[in-house]
Chains A and B, each alone.
Chain A
Amino acid sequence: MTWAIVAAGASLVVFLVLSRYMHSARVRDWQALPTVRTRRYLAEVEDQIALDAQVVEEAYGAAAGSRETPDEAAHLLRCAFDLIQATQTDRLQRLKLMMQFARMSAAILVAPPVRPARFKLREVRSVAALGWLLHQVLVSPTERFLARLRVLAWGFWLALRSLRGARDQVSENPAIETNWARFENALGDWRTLDQEHAFAVRHLLLSLSAEPGAVAPAPVNNPQP
């Protein structure tokens, strides 16, 4: 009976994999895999990331600048939060796509782990520390890169949760300083995650381009001159 169960389990796995298989979508994904020709796409993505960060920065700056009129400041902060939320969807989708690409890629450079010390929020720092630990334990570059992407996705999720909490508190009591500080801390971590995410995009696209002599991207906290 044991062997019948093993065979049935194996059959179930094959059935599940084949039932989820969509040939045309898979062929399209492989044809869309970034190559040397798509280096231009990197510049576009980097510009978009920088633009999003700038817009978020300005929105928050406007909110922080008008703190003398608390109601207006709280309204602007809510707008800033909505902006962050909107741009984050794009980032999470990109990270998900990159996870798939990383698996599809056979040639990938080794990426450094996300440094926990760069974050202020305890929960984000814990996730980054877990990612750092995984980086030491995992063997293949692809697994390490996937762990890095997962850490970023979880980090974004946690940072947004903190931002949401701080936004609600600021909306209730716009005059209390600690609520603003909490929002600022969460925003700082969100910015750091954004920089790491931009680095990951660059890293993956350069790895996939696999040009002889391609320069590895500099880590976020130590930019190349």
Chain B
Amino acid sequence: MSSRELLLAVVILAAVAVIAGLIVRGRVRQCWSFAAYLCSVVTCGAFYIQDAYFTKEFWMTRQIIFDVLKTAVALEIAWQVVRAFPGALRTARVFALLLLVGSTILLAAGLSHSSNYLAVLFAWQPRVVACTALLFTLTALLVAWYHLPIRRLHRAIMGGFTVYLAFFATVLSILQRSFHSPEARYWYGQLDSYAYLALVVYWARAAWARAEEPMPEPLAVPERREAPALAENAA
């Protein structure tokens, strides 16, 4: 077993541990798309570990699946955080829509020249990473501005993802300059894998955490009483 295969196997095991933690502790419903994302990490990893699937085409397919699910995770967390707060929900809708439209335009512009492996890796991926990180930032800003409470798992996903995404974007940016060197490709790949492993272990810790933090009760809005005249007419 090569070091690449070994590292990938450890990442898959860690992702399985996160899924198990989410199920055992009943946290799956806190973010369904995160569970779906982890399942895709396990499934794609199981294929990618085999030499037959260790290809550029499979890597691109895998990245597209991850990108779609990462965007879904960012949007679901934003919704889960603001859904109980109508004012914040309205703001989140407007800004999320603006960000998604802006991201679509940016991604479309990135694919205008060619859609081969290098274009996906160096033109498309950094844009996707930046747009996903901005979606998480939107949620963080809403949390700060409206003074909203946020669950431990959501904090772990947001914090972990954004730090890793910034790291990944930086690695891509450096790799672009030294892509011609196979050694550089290998070492940057290894570095990225270790960073991802650290991220999944961090999520596993949050998924298996014993105590669930209390959340405030949603504010009950008193029902408007019917006007006496109308009530009489109805009778």
Assess the A13–B147 pair: CB atoms within 8 A: no
Interface of A is mostly: helix
Contact B147 A103 (CB under 8 A): yes
On whether the beta carbons of A13 and B140 are closer than 8 Å, the reply is yes
| Residues of chain A contacted by B87 (CB below 8 angstroms) | 105-106, 142
Please report which residues of chain A, range 105-150, place their CB below 8 angstroms from some CB of chain B when the two chains form the complex: 105-106, 142
Give the number of residues in B that approach A within 8 Å (Cβ atoms): 45
Chain A proximity mask over B124-152: 1 for CB below 8 Å, otherwise 0: 00110110011011001101111111101
Interface size on A, residues (CB 8 A): 35
How far is B8's CA from A127's CA once the two chains are assembled, in angstroms? 62
A13 vs chain B, min Cβ distance (A): 5
Number of A-B residue pairs, CB cutoff 8 Å, is 110
C-alpha gap A20/B141 in the complex (Å): 12
Contact B147 A26 (CB under 8 A): yes
Binary per-residue interface labels of chain A (1-31) against chain B in the complex, 1 for a CB within 8 Å, 0 otherwise: 1011011101111110110110110110111
Q: How far is the CA of A153 from the CA of B150 in the complex (A)?
A: 30
* B85 interface residue per 8 A CB criterion: yes
Q: Mark B194-235, 1 if CB is under 8 A from A, else 0.
A: 000000000000000000011111010110110000000000
B-side contacts of A4, CB under 8 Å: 126, 130, 166, 169-170, 172-173
A106 pairs with B86, CB closer than 8 A: yes
- In the assembled complex, the CB of B116 is this many whole angstroms from the nearest CB of chain A, namely 19
Residues of B within 8 A of A17 (CB): 140-141, 143-144
**Residue contact A14 to B169, C-beta cutoff 8 Å:** no
Taking beta carbons and an 8 Å cutoff, which residues of B are in contact with A?
A: 85-88, 126-127, 129-130, 133-134, 136-137, 140-141, 143-150, 152, 155, 158-159, 162-163, 165-166, 168-170, 172-173, 213-217, 219, 221-222, 224-225
Residues of A at the B interface (CB closer than 8 Å) are: 1, 3-4, 6-8, 10-15, 17-18, 20-21, 23-24, 26-27, 29-31, 33, 35-36, 100, 103-106, 142, 210-212
